[in-house]
A and B are shown apart, each in its own frame.
Chain A
């Protein structure tokens, strides 16, 4: 079955430190993959997406993600985290229809 897994439920990072959020996918073919961010009480905002070509994808707010077929991963990274990055992050894959399969999310806490 097509699915996306986020192994980490919570991540705590110090402000200014680097960040990596993990995402693993299980799809038969190369999937279309997305990272969304949800600030408290808000809807979801698209950070970046991958569909083909360059495996390193740049997004908004200084985020990037790397698609690794050999590891079935699409990890989200940021070199220096800001307090405003504290939020819930969702990895998603487009299924064979028109909708997205979402991971269960990773909650990011940023400490001073």
Chain B
């Protein structure tokens, strides 16, 4: 049982390049999330999904797209990377238990855009 995994762990992009971050979970969770973490800002929600084939915008969605074609995978795409997207990206998954969505986090992807 690997929990939540993220690939890649590190990546350096040039401005304007594109890339996709992959999140996978083996806990059969319905809900998945992408956050970004910046110094002094805590974690901010980018996009989330409440089930296969569904996605929704979070607090800071601009410049990102997501897809949830399979229940276990949640992809985060950057179509044209900008230096402002330099950050650590965390994926999480959850399931409701008595109305509580306790989230399980992946190890993160550190992205640098030059």
Taking a contact as CB atoms under 8 Å apart, the answer to whether A94 and B101 are in contact is yes
In the bound complex, CA of A87 to CA of B74 (Å): 28
Q: How far is the CA of A43 from the CA of B40 in the complex (A)?
A: 16
Contact residues in B for A97 (Cβ distance below 8 Å): 48
Contact of B106 with A99 in the complex, beta carbons under 8 Å: no
0 or 1 for each of A87-106: is its CB under 8 Å from B? (1 = yes): 00010001001111011110
Which residue of the partner chain A has the closest CB to B40? A104
How far is B31's CA from A99's CA once the two chains are assembled, in angstroms?
9
CB interface residues, B 89-114, toward A, < 8 Å: 90, 92, 94, 96, 98-108
Task: Let me know if A9 is at the binding interface, CB within 8 A.
Answer: yes
| Distance of B56 from chain A, by nearest CB (Å) | 8
Q: How large is the interface on A (under 10, 10 to 19, 20 to 34, 35 or more residues)?
A: 20 to 34
Contacts of B48 in A (CB 8 A): 97-99
Proximity string of chain A (8-24) to chain B, C-beta cutoff 8 Å, 1 when within and 0 when not: 01000000000000000
Given A43-B108, A98-B31, A99-B45: A34 touches B102 (CB 8 Å cut-off): yes
Give the A-binding residues of B (Cβ under 8 A): 4, 31, 33, 35, 40-45, 48, 50, 58, 90, 92, 94, 96, 98-108
- Among all A-B residue pairs, the 7 with the closest Cβ atoms: A104-B42, A102-B42, A43-B105, A44-B105, A102-B43, A43-B107, A98-B101
